[in-house]
Amino acid sequence: MEEEGRFEAEVAEEQAWWNTERFKLSRRPYTTRDVVSLRGTLRQAYPSNELAKKLWLTFKTHQANGTASRTFGALDPVQVAKMAEYLDSISVSGWECSSTHTTNEPGLTLQTTLMTLSLIRLNTFSLLNNTMTESKERPR
């Protein structure tokens, strides 16, 4: 019975999240019950999810104010750390990643995708490290 209660609570929590403004235009061919039934019992939290929420809020704020989020592409963590001081969004594109790769092999789609994902992971960790450093520097 405890497991069923936990399951129903998680379904309700997921449904409430899906009902937020962020997903009001999303159409899914599956239900929250389907999604929750495929999860394990240990909840996982990903840093990229928090960054996505922050980016969504940034975009909504700019939309409400009639402004834009100016951004540049970053190829390494040093660039990310420096850009983060002045920009509210930083992009990583497949084109940028592939432009730094040297090979004559045709069809680099998978390789470019993997390089892009690797770069995003590296830059995300850099941003997280940057936030920890900022936190340590705050007056207590």
Same domain, 32 and 53: no
pLDDT for res 70 = 87
Q: 34 lies in which domain range? A: 1-44
Please name the helix (run of DSSP H) or strand (run of DSSP E) that holds residue 91, with its range, or none.
Answer: strand 89-91
Same domain, 13 and 79: no
Structure tokens, 34: 């389907």
Q: What are the pLDDT digits (tens) for 19-61?
A: 999 999 999 999 999 999 998 888 888 878 888 888 899 999 9
Listed residues 11, 27, 44: the one ending a domain: 44
Averaged over 92-118, what is the pLDDT? Answer: 64
Same domain, 119 and 90: yes
pLDDT for res 127 = 72
Cβ burial, residue 89 (10 Å; 0-12/13-18/19+): middle
Amino acid at 86: Y
The tally of domains found in the chain comes to: 2
Q: What are phi and psi of 107, to 5 degrees?
A: 70, 60
Same domain, 16 and 55: no
115 contacts 101 by C-beta, under 8 angstroms: yes
